[in-house]
Chain A
Amino acid sequence: GDSVTQMEGPVTLSEEAFLTINCTYTATGYPSLFWYVQYPGEGLQLLLKATKADDKGSNKGFEATYRKETTSFHLEKGSVQVSDSAVYFCALSPARAAGNKLTFGGGTRVLVKP
């Protein structure tokens, strides 16, 4: 079945440091890929998405590129802020399938210190 693997945290960074969170997936065909962020006590917020190979999703300074050859969708941000402290989830949705069934990675907690 489908699966998503992302690096375990916590990841602790200083403000203005470069952030990268690795995500790889196993799925048939070309699934849609997502990054969601969860702040303390909140639900999930969609951060960015990509629906086909070589697509780059971007939002709020975060970027991720859909790499079919390496089945990866790594999240990057060039300069993090304290407000980026949260848990980040990589997820996939099956290729061209009716229905909304997301498979999530285990989440990566990021802590940005001033």
Chain B
Amino acid sequence: AQSVTQLDSQVPVFEEAPVELRCNYSSSVSVYLFWYVQYPNQGLQLLLKYLSGSTLVKGINGFEAEFNKSQTSFHLRKPSVHISDTAEYFCAVSNRDDKIIFGKGTRLHILP
């Protein structure tokens, strides 16, 4: 069975500062990894995904994530956040045998 853990339920950060949202997963087989963003009262949209190949994945809105197999992590980073990045971010994992599973989410609060 696979699982995904988002280590922080909320992350406050000042505008224009860097941010890292942490995600760890467990799986006995090769995984596919995703980050989704949800703005208030909306559905989720895909930020980026790792299926194979380069471990550094770039996504929309200046976000990137790095797949680290030895640490079973897929942390999301942005070098400089903007007030418009205020949202909830979900890490998700799937594999060829299982449907996608979502973490519980991390709320990103941008401080002025």
Partners in one complex: no
List residues of chain B with CB under 8 Å of any chain A CB: none
Q: Which residues of A contact B (CB under 8 A)?
A: none
